[in-house]
Homo-oligomer: A and B are copies of this chain.
């Protein structure tokens, strides 16, 4: 919602979920208003089946009277405890720090790097990790650290320990698996819950696992797709952030599916990243609430 003519002011964003109850929206907006905040965007959603409440609210901090350092505590005391909220607080001037994992297919990585370098995303990319050397040059050109960490069955545990150390050193908030062809361990995944974004090259739940384009060809589908989701311990079964598809024809061989699919993968992954880094995604019961 930013407009180049009117640069975005410093703002705070809250992502909230809690059991639904009367007056929640009123309580939250009162907290913001009575402390001098001006709401920029508010979107809420109630899951009627579970009576569960979700909200994203962003407000201008220009005249807000609670100091940033005290805001989390103040919100917790005033509202979060009473309503048993799960919540996350972000400030607009804190850029997310994103690491990218890649193997040998470079199309998603190249797409991400081009967006990053052109300033399309308000994000910092300090680190790319790969089990191959293919992308080293492209990554180092803009000054990003490229950690080449080959993985074998035997070294997997050690390599993940090194990866986690690197991620910590770079204070990484979010990890993007841009066609990283290794399965992460439970230990790794649980270190970044709802913060590892994967792109899978099928419209899940169809064709999970390896070689989905081959499976799609064999099944004779008329659409192929891509799915971006948060990584959970169960393979290709995490909460879906974004999906899209493209039509194919009988004359498309597997190679054609791969080629057409790449374009969908790039776009779907980049939309998922955009939403995540703009703090528009909440996870609840393995589903996502994606605010516009």
- Residues of A whose CB lies within 8 Å of any CB of B are 1-6, 22-26, 29-30, 32-33, 38-46, 48-49, 106-107, 110-111, 114, 118, 120, 141, 203-207, 219-223, 225, 239-245, 247, 249-251, 253-256, 259, 262-263, 267, 270, 286-290, 292
Shortest beta-carbon distance, A1 to chain B, in Å? 6
For A41, A46, A220, A256, which residue has the most chain B Cβ atoms within 10 angstroms?
A220
Q: Report B-chain residues with C-beta under 8 Å of the C-beta of A49.
A: 3, 5-6, 253
- The answer to whether A1 and B253 have CB atoms under 8 Å apart is yes
Choose one: B3, B26, B220, B259; the contact of A26 (CB below 8 Å): B26
Q: Which chain B positions have C-beta within 8 A of A206?
A: 203-206
> Contacts A39-B25, A114-B106, A267-B263 hold; do A250 and B203 have CB atoms under 8 A apart?
no
Cβ–Cβ < 8 Å partners of A203 in chain B? 203, 206, 221, 223, 245
Distance (Å) between the CB of A252 and the closest chain B CB?
Answer: 8
Q: List 18 A-B contacts (CB under 8 A).
A: A1-B253, A2-B255, A26-B32, A29-B29, A41-B46, A42-B44, A43-B44, A45-B251, A106-B118, A203-B221, A203-B245, A204-B221, A219-B240, A220-B240, A245-B245, A247-B247, A250-B288, A251-B292
